[in-house]
């Protein structure tokens, strides 16, 4: 129960910290809903890593570094930072198909 309360409190603090940042520029096409902070960081990392044409472990490593930097900039710590980085990396570098299985 203590852990659950700690996780909820850290998300509330992270949300308050995100609310203090300047708003992101409006997207070109209207979106159905507001993007989550990890989605915004994922998009930023994707555009900075994209021109490098990375694949596999190199892409995952670069995405992890970029997302950790974004979490640090957002002043996230502990479970909030871990969750943020995991979501951001999955947005930038989707998991590869299992090796050995062909359709």
Q: What is the pLDDT of residues 73-103, one digit of tens each?
A: 989 999 999 999 898 888 887 776 666 666 5
| 56-73 vs 37-49: helix crossing angle, rounded to 10 | 130
CA nearest 93: which of 68, 57, 69?
Answer: 57
Cα distance between residue 5 and residue 12, in whole Å: 11
Helix or strand (DSSP H, E) at 53: none
CA nearest 43: which of 89, 100, 98?
Answer: 89
Cα distance between residue 68 and residue 98, in whole Å: 26
pLDDT in tens, 26-60: 555 444 444 455 566 667 777 777 677 777 888 88
Q: What is the pTM of this model?
A: 0.52
Cα distance between residue 95 and residue 14, in whole Å: 27
Indicate the DSSP class of residue 55: -
């Amino acid at each position: 129960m203590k852990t659950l309360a700690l996780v909820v409190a850290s998300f509330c603090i992270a949300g308050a910290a995100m609310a203090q940042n300047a708003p992101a520029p409006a997207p070109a096409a209207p979106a159905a809903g507001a993007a989550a902070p990890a989605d915004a960081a994922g998009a930023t990392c994707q555009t900075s890593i994209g021109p490098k044409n990375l694949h596999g472990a190199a892409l995952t490593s670069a995405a992890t570094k970029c997302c950790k930097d974004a979490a640090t900039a957002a002043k996230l710590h502990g479970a909030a930072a871990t969750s943020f980085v995991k979501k951001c990396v999955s947005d930038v570098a989707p998991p590869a198909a299992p090796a050995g299985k062909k359709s």
